[in-house]
Structure 1
Amino acid sequence: MSSTDNNHGPSPQISSFGRSIYRLRQEQVHSLEENHRSSTRDSELESFQKQVTDRFEDLFRASDDELLSIDWIQKLLNAFICCHEEFRAILLNNKEQLSNSPLDRSISEFFERLVKALDICNASSNGIEKVRAWLKHLEIVLCALSSNQRALSEGHVLRARKALMDLAVAMLDEKDCSSVFPQRNRSFGRHNTNKDHRRHFTALSRSHSWSVSRSWSAAKQLHSISSNLIPPRGSEIVATNGLAIPVYTMNSVLLFVLWALVAAVPCQDRGLNIQMSVPRQYSWGVPVTSLHDRIKKRERRSSNGLLKEINQVESCIRNITDLVDSVQFPLRDEQKMEVEERLKELRVVYGALRDGLDPLERQVREVFRKIMTCRAEGLDYTG
């Protein structure tokens, strides 16, 4: 073979064939990678739906006595945190798709809801602080009426009555104070201090450092969060490779958890008229809507909150107030026994609040931090 033959490159046909094989291999590798990503994404989405379902089915299994207790609310917030963390992972693993239509719109709406959720966390934290302030009055009642090696005197009863009056005022919203206070005032046997106590309560309310404005409304905020929260259509699910489903799921979980929190603790302008309607194909829909119905049935007008321990405090206060208004000296043996029985009930409720409020508030703050982190990450994802 001549030297000129040796210097010739491969024929055009061979070169074209080689490029075809290379492209085919690239397409095969790309297809395999795409299939792997799709399979991983499907597993993530399925795992997320399962966790949400399992968490809320567990919450739904609570007895009527356990529902809306401090322990149950903590369990609810923990469920939210766990679901939220898995949802964040889904967003992180699919962040390149978050700016694509139609997913970009639903993601943007989700992050807007997160901002509104921060206000509800703040208001709930303030509500917990309000309940914590009640403990001081309850402690005075317990100290005044406890007969540890001393006879119960009229002075002790008067001290307890004053603490009960202060507590009753503290438990009222400022807007309800003028209409409700006179009746409560008469029940305590104090006829001349109405204006003084009303001014005192107003001053306390205005001096409290609220992190939401005085015109802020929990009911309106919940309505704003629930606005336009609708299940994704089939075309949207296909166009987003299924990612529209976890976004809708997390929006619904967020709404329910915030609604339950507002239901449980004192909040400005509480209102629970939020509808929860979830299509049957979402497995978590049944426990969520069932819990919504169970809680809704407990709503009471002018309630400080549906938290179990708050209801117990209100019941104890009514019983002890009736008792101190009716006692006559010298005390009869049956009256002494009734005082001890009422104090025993109050000690249990006092202990539950004293031990439960701090962990509950810490968990509300943790929810706040998780939401803040997710919102900050969202700014990076969506620009």
Structure 2
Amino acid sequence: MPATDYQGSSSRSVLILRRDQVHSMEGANEVRSHEVELEAFQKQVTDRFVVLSSATSEELLSLAWVRKLLDAFLCCQEEFRVVLFNNRSLIHRPPLDRLVADFFERSVKALDVCNAIRDGIEQIRQWQKLLDIVICALDSKQRALGEGQFRRAKKALIDLAIGMLDEKDSGGTLAHRNRSFGRNNNSSSSKDHHHRSIAHFRSLSWSVSRSWSAARQLQAIGTNLTVPRGNEIVATNGLVVPIYTIGSVLLFVMWALVAAIPCQDRGLQVHFYIPRHFTWAAPIMSLHERILEESKKRDRKNSCGLLKEIYQIEKYSRLLSELADSVQFPLAEDKEGEVRQRVQELAQVCETIKEGLDPLERQVRDVFHRIVRSRTEGLDSLGRAHNE
């Protein structure tokens, strides 16, 4: 072979080798970039729930904490949407197409929970209005407190107590009375007043059906939420892990909302387990255990919601009601001071609720629309792929 031919052949071999090396490096970089993206998503979820789990016992389940929880969910949901978008060429293939579709079906079940929670927020607003009546009636700054003011306050406190009856204890009877309110005009005035009170607080049929159950809906969201196996991780290029992660986050967030906010047929007995090798497992399982422990406390067992502000309403309104029943007129100075203290406690809770409820409702609405939008985008993408 002539030297020139040998040199040309050698040059071509070097070029081929270099090209293969470049392609190999590009492939390795793509794989590494993919791994970094998936790891970053896991870290995002972990970091957000570590912050949530660091809440003190006073902060946990407060309005401010629930808002932070929803903010964390919205951020995780957006990060997950980005992961799906960046890997859209992969999610069209089996078994990822099925897993993604299963997640979207799971997430759509959360929409009813959002509707029920918004109804629960409206219930709390009705309680707030009754608190305003009590506070206004017993405001001793402008005038001396007399029997008329106490009668007005006690009536509002009775209506509040009726409204805050535990859904599990009142159950179908109250729900039926609420839905049939106004259809029978033969009731006595006392019964009408009782029915009107219930109508304020049991209007859950606005967004969910009579047979709808928060407990059953949570179970449906958690159905078939299984830990990815090794062969599934390999077959899906690791993408089954973020799908499982966001599914677990969705279940926990909906469960925590149902725990905190009044809604129809609340129930917290949902199987919830995450293997410890997931970095976000520890903070979520810690929160799950702490909320369950809160629900088991004697003064919380029959509560219509574990929200801290609900507990404060129940506690302070009960103390004020007992005090109002014991006063004699003309009102003694020490009794008036005690009444003033109890009213101030209720006023502080009322102010917290006024500041927090509207932003919370907007966040619940954002969660609802974000789920709808994400599901629509995902299903449209899967549909286009199947039609190509």
TM-score (norm 1): 0.87
Q: Does 1:326 align with 2:326?
A: yes
Q: Does 1:354 align with 2:354?
A: yes
Deviation at 1:301, TM superposition (A): 3.4
Classify the secondary structure of the residue corresponding to 2:206.
coil
Q: Does 1:242 align with 2:238?
A: yes
Relative to structure 2, which stretch is displaced further, 168-177 or 216-225? 168-177
Which residue of the partner structure matches residue 158 of structure 1? Answer: 151
The alignment yields a C-alpha RMSD, in angstroms, of: 2.7
Q: Which of 201, 212, 222 in structure 2 is aligned with 1:216?
A: 212
Deviation at 1:48, TM superposition (A): 0.6
Letter in structure 2 aligned against 1:288: I
Highest CA radius of gyration, 1 or 2? 1
Classify the secondary structure of the residue corresponding to 1:297.
helix
**Preserved contact between residue 204 and residue 264 of structure 2 (Cα < 8 Å):** no
Aligned length: 362
- 1:160-203 CA distances to partner (integer Å, 9 max, x unpaired)? 1111122222223677459999xxxxxxxxxx965233332455
Which residue of the partner structure matches residue 281 of structure 2? Answer: 285
Q: Does 1:251 align with 2:244?
A: no
Q: Does 1:103 align with 2:99?
A: no
Query: CA–CA distance in 2 between the matches of 1:327 and 1:108?
Result: 63
**Preserved contact between residue 123 and residue 200 of structure 2 (Cα < 8 Å):** no
Q: Which of 225, 246, 258 in structure 2 is aligned with 1:229?
A: 225
- 1:36-67 CA distances to partner (integer Å, 9 max, x unpaired)? 32221111101011111111111111100000
Letter in structure 2 aligned against 1:81: L
- 1:226-270 CA distances to partner (integer Å, 9 max, x unpaired)? 111111000100111111111111111111111101111111110
Which residue of the partner structure matches residue 168 of structure 1? Answer: 161
The 3 A distance-change label for structure 1 pair 195 and 365 is same
Which residue of the partner structure matches residue 363 of structure 1? Answer: 363
Classify the secondary structure of the residue corresponding to 1:371.
helix
Deviation at 1:34, TM superposition (A): 3.0
Q: Does 1:265 align with 2:258?
A: no
Query: CA–CA distance in 2 between the matches of 1:293 and 1:36?
Result: 41
Query: CA–CA distance in 2 between the matches of 1:36 and 1:98?
Result: 20
Which residue of the partner structure matches residue 122 of structure 1? Answer: 115
**Preserved contact between residue 215 and residue 268 of structure 2 (Cα < 8 Å):** yes
Classify the secondary structure of the residue corresponding to 2:45.
helix
Deviation at 1:275, TM superposition (A): 2.5
Deviation at 1:105, TM superposition (A): 2.3
Which residue of the partner structure matches residue 380 of structure 2? Answer: 380
- 1:318-374 CA distances to partner (integer Å, 9 max, x unpaired)? 011101111111111221111011011111111000111011111111111211111
Deviation at 1:26, TM superposition (A): 7.0
- 1:258-301 CA distances to partner (integer Å, 9 max, x unpaired)? 11011111111100011321112101101110110000111143
User: What runs of 5+ residues in structure 1 fail to find an aligned partner?
Assistant: 1-10, 182-191
Which residue of the partner structure matches residue 68 of structure 2? Answer: 75
The 3 A distance-change label for structure 1 pair 371 and 36 is same
The 3 A distance-change label for structure 1 pair 75 and 159 is same
- Show the 5 A alignment for 1:30-109: 30-109=23-102
Query: CA–CA distance in 2 between the matches of 1:214 and 1:179?
Result: 9
Letter in structure 2 aligned against 1:242: G
Identity %: 56
The 3 A distance-change label for structure 1 pair 277 and 33 is same
The 3 A distance-change label for structure 1 pair 275 and 174 is closer
**Preserved contact between residue 138 and residue 145 of structure 2 (Cα < 8 Å):** yes
Letter in structure 2 aligned against 1:364: V
**Preserved contact between residue 60 and residue 290 of structure 1 (Cα < 8 Å):** yes
Q: Does 1:315 align with 2:337?
A: no
**Preserved contact between residue 169 and residue 177 of structure 1 (Cα < 8 Å):** no
The 3 A distance-change label for structure 1 pair 67 and 180 is farther
**Preserved contact between residue 61 and residue 260 of structure 2 (Cα < 8 Å):** yes
Classify the secondary structure of the residue corresponding to 2:89.
helix
Letter in structure 2 aligned against 1:87: F
TM-score (norm 2): 0.86
